[in-house]
Each structure stands twice: as C-alpha cells, then as structure tokens.
Structure 1
Amino acid sequence: MYYSLLLLLLLLLLLLLLLVLLVLVLVVVLVVVVLVLVVVVVLLLLVLVVVVVVLVLVLVLLLVLVVVVVVVVVVLLLLLLVLLVVLLVLLLLVLLLLVRKMVITSVRRSGRAKLVVLQQLLSRVYRQLQLRGCGVHTLQLLSCLLRVQQQQGDTAAATTAAAAAAIHTLQLLSCLLRVQQQQGDTAAAATTAAAAAAAAAKRMQTAARLIRKYAPDVDAVGIRYTQETERNRKRDRKRDRKRDRKRDREEIERDRKRDRKRDRKRDRKR
C-alpha cells in the first residue's frame, strides 16, 4: 500500500509538473503572441504615421502648387492688364497725334487761305498805289516775302510778314491821303481816309488773329531769324576776310613779280 501511495504521489507530482510546464508553455506562447501582436500593432502604427506624414506632405505640396499656379495666373493677368493699358495708351497717343496732325493741317490750310486773301489785298493796294518814296518797295518786298513763306509753309514767318505788310499798307494810304489833301481832292481824301481806317482795323485784326491762332511761335521764328541772320553775317564776314586775304596775297605776289621784272630789266640795262 505504501508503494502504491508513493506511486500515486509521484504520478500526481508528474501531473503537476506537466501542468506547470503546460502552463509555462502557454504563458510563454501567450507572451510571444502578445509581443508579436504589439510589434505588429506598432509597425502598423508606424506605417499609418508614415502614410499620414506622406499624405500631409503631398497635401502641402499640392497646396504650394495651387498657390504657385494662382500667383502665376494672377501675375499673367496683371501683365495682360498692363499690356492692355499700354496698348490703350499707345492707341490714344496715336489718335491724339492723328487728331493734332489733322487740326494742324486744317489750321494751316485755313491760315494759308487767310494769308492768300491778305496777300491779294496787299497786291491790289500795291497795284493801286504807285507813289514814290512812300514805302512801295518795302510793301513789294514784304509781299514777295509773304508769297515765298506761304509756298514754303512757314506760317509763323508769313503772319509776321503779313503784319508788317499791313503796317506799310497803312503808311501807303496815309501818304496817299496827304497827297490828295495837298491836291485839294476832298472826296478822294475822304474815301482814302475811310479806306485807311478800315484797312487799319481789318489788317490789324487779321494780323493779330493769325499770329494768335496760326503762329504761336512767332517769338521762336524771330529768334531763329535773328540767329540765322547772325550766322549769315558771321559767314559773310569770314568770307570777306578770306577774300581780302586772298586779294592781298595776290596783290603782294603781283608786286613781287613786278619788282623782280623791274630789277631784271634794270640789271640787263646795266
């Protein structure tokens, strides 16, 4: 009996050991499984984090690209607007230049027409008044100058000449009035006086209107005329000096030749 009990105890102990071993094995397996699961979960979390980071980076890049595209589009639109504004300004400038050219052309045409009428009036007065010593030659010169300046298109100088011609026309009428008064022709003198008054008003108004409207640069023309006159005067003086020097050299050379010829003749006589 005693041995049987021992055997039972041993069997029980073995069973207990087996149970303990089984429990330990189970615990180890469970721990390993848990560790594997934890590692898998951590790896999955890492993968998720990486995916999220990649997605965030992709979203940021997409946002940056969208912002860049929007900025580029806005800049291009601004450039297009600037180009359109520049084109509009250029078109306006071209239109203004065309309008200015048309206005200047029309003004020049109307101014030339008025100057032609004034020149015709001056020519008629010159043909009617053939008086000596009363500025007829001055009026003739001014009429010729007016005609030449009209042909050259110099409206400013033409208006200046027209104003001067109007003044000399009044001088001619005044001379004619004095002559008729001296001759006792009262009716003709009255007619001439009326003509002089009308000519004074009309010529001066016409000259002032022409100078004011069609020749705003009369002062510039006068300055240019003065400069050209000064240049011509300097050129003439230079030409005269050069011609005088040349004439002096020629005279000196002739004197030398004459003296040498005379000396040779005198030497031959000796």
Structure 2
Amino acid sequence: MGAWGVALFSDDTACDVRDTYRELIEDGVEDEEATRRVLNEFGDALVDPDEGPVIWLALAWTQSKIGRLDAMVRDKALTLIERGEGLELWQEQGAKALAGRQAVHQKVQAQLTAPQPERKRLRRPWRHVTDLTPGTVLSYRVSSGHFVLLRVARIDDDRVGCAPILSLMRYLGDALPSRQELDRLPDAVDGSCPLGVPVDVVMNMTVFCVAVHRKKDPDYRELGFEPLEGMLQPRPGDAELDLHTYTHWQGLANTMEWYAGCR
C-alpha cells in the first residue's frame, strides 16, 4: 500500500477509490451502480487487512461529502472504526503515528454519523480536444532562430482530454527541410543525441504528451508551433511509442529552447 502519511488521502489506494467514484458520478452513473463498480474494481484488495479498511473509509467519506452516502458502505466503515481495524500498520510505526491515524478514524466517524449534506451533482471537468492529427509535423523556432520539429505520432483520447503524442525529430536547422528531407528524417528516440544534445543531459525525453488543461491555457499556435504542409505516413511502433513526459505547450516550448541551447 502506498501510504505516505496518516491522513485518509495520504494513500494511493484511498486516492484511487475517491477518484474512481467521483469520475463515475461525473459520468452520470447512478449512485448504487457507482458503488458496485468501485467495490468490484477494488474487490481483490478488500480482503487485505491493511487496504480493505482504507477502501471502505475512503469510499464512505467521498460519498458523504457529496451527499450520496450509501447505507451499506456507511455501516461497514463505522464497524471497521469501532473494531479498530486497519490500525495495525500504524501501530508498527509507533505511538505518534497510531494516535494520528486514530484521530483520522474519529474524524471519519463524525462525518458519517452527522446530518448529511444535500446531494450534490458533479460535472465532468472541461475537456480540450486537439485539432492535430497523426502525421502532422510541427515546427518551432527557438530564440536562436533555428527550427526544431516534432511529429504527431498518435492521439491520446480519454475522459479528461484529447491530446497529441509528439515525437521529437532529429533536426535543428536554419531553414525548414524540404518535403523529401522531411520524409527521411528519423525520430530522436533511439538513445543517441536529439538535436546534438547528450542523452544523459536530457534524460532521453523525446516523446511528449502535450495537453491543454484549462480554457485560459495557450494552445500550440499561440506559442509559435506551426504545422507544416503535408502529412507523414505512420511509422512502425507509433501505437506503442513510450511516453517520456506529460507537459503543456509552454512547457514544451521551454524544453525545446533548453535542448537547442545545450548544443
């Protein structure tokens, strides 16, 4: 179990339970069905003496805070608290950790037994959908005047957004390459030096998922990334291309400036 503190959500499993349940509600799944799906997804961990209590408490707390506390989940969580289940891990870490976790259990108990808030509606977060398509090549002119190129290998489409997966190409030039040159340019993902920069300097970060998370965040054109005319054919391995980092367009622009400046 990935726990880094005594707080209820200082725990990977608790966070996963909370996020899974909230996402289901955001997607319009009915309360009982959302509860069933969460318990089914975490079913194997429910029998674990350390993780099981975490799951029940996290689910009960999450439901209660949005006015959707399921009676069965409430009773299960309260029973665990009354029996002191799930405290063994904290006993092993000493009296201070145990007291801290017991206080968390008391807080959860108070939340579950108090008058419950009104039922709240959760809306899906804003979702940006890119207009880029696989095969597009983006050019970016760094402050030195040189151009760098990134190829759209594929699109990552999930519930929170639709974002391009970009592969850095092995190019840094004073002018844009011709169409024939572009077709022959390799990606900079083979462990050698992208843009002439030693791999140990850049940690081989040459494949990027670039997302727009907020409406006010700039998109690619606003920061100087320009699509070239024509499209490249898909390349072998595009579907399995390993992501090296998640970023936004300003972060990608900063990375390109840094890479080019390291030459």
Normalized against structure 2, the TM-score is what? 0.22
Indicate the structure with greater strand content: 2
Indicate the structure with greater helix content: 1
Specify the structure having the higher radius of gyration (Cα): 1
Normalized against structure 1, the TM-score is what? 0.21
